[in-house]
Chain A
């Protein structure tokens, strides 16, 4: 059982370049999230999805786009990378309808360390 898998694990971008981070989960979870982690600021929610084909903005959505075309995948895109987007990005998933209240916890991937120069 792989859980939540993020690709890639590391990336260096030049300012203005674009890239897509891929998140895949195999737990049949309804909800998926993208967070960024910066020193002293905890995890801040970028975008999230409550089901296939739906997305919503989180706390810090500017400069990012997302798509959830398949239930198991959640993509995070940076159209024109900026140094302020240097961060560690975490994907998470939670909530299986068929398991109800017992499965409300979020499961996290190992993170993607992105540096924009």
Chain B
């Protein structure tokens, strides 16, 4: 069965600092991997996704993630945090094309001035 583990329910960084949000997955077949962001009282929107091909994926708002099969990881990074990045971030996995999405527990990112 698929599963996703996000390490750290809360992460706090200073504005301008590196953002690193960790995600590890379990899947019996090559996975499709996603990062979503949720701003307060809103739905989820896609930051980036990995399906096939290049393992370093760039998304919106300066975020990127690298798929590492050997480590079963898909960590999200941003070189320089901005106050507007404060939100909750969810990692998700699906097993192949059209598979159901399974989410991690979420990581709340706080950005200090």
Contacts and interface: CB of A to CB of B under 8 A. Distances in A.
A90 B97 CA distance: 21
Contact of A108 (B44, B97, B100): B44
Interface residues of A, number: 28
25 contacts: A30-B98, A33-B101, A40-B9, A40-B105, A42-B6, A43-B90, A43-B106, A44-B103, A48-B100, A58-B100, A90-B43, A90-B44, A92-B44, A92-B101, A95-B97, A100-B97, A101-B51, A101-B52, A101-B97, A105-B34, A106-B44, A106-B101, A108-B45, A110-B43, A111-B43
Given A101-B51, A101-B52, A104-B97, 7 more contacts: A30-B98, A31-B100, A42-B105, A92-B101, A95-B97, A105-B46, A105-B49
Interface of B: 6, 9, 32, 34, 36, 42-46, 49, 51-52, 90, 92, 94, 97-98, 100-106
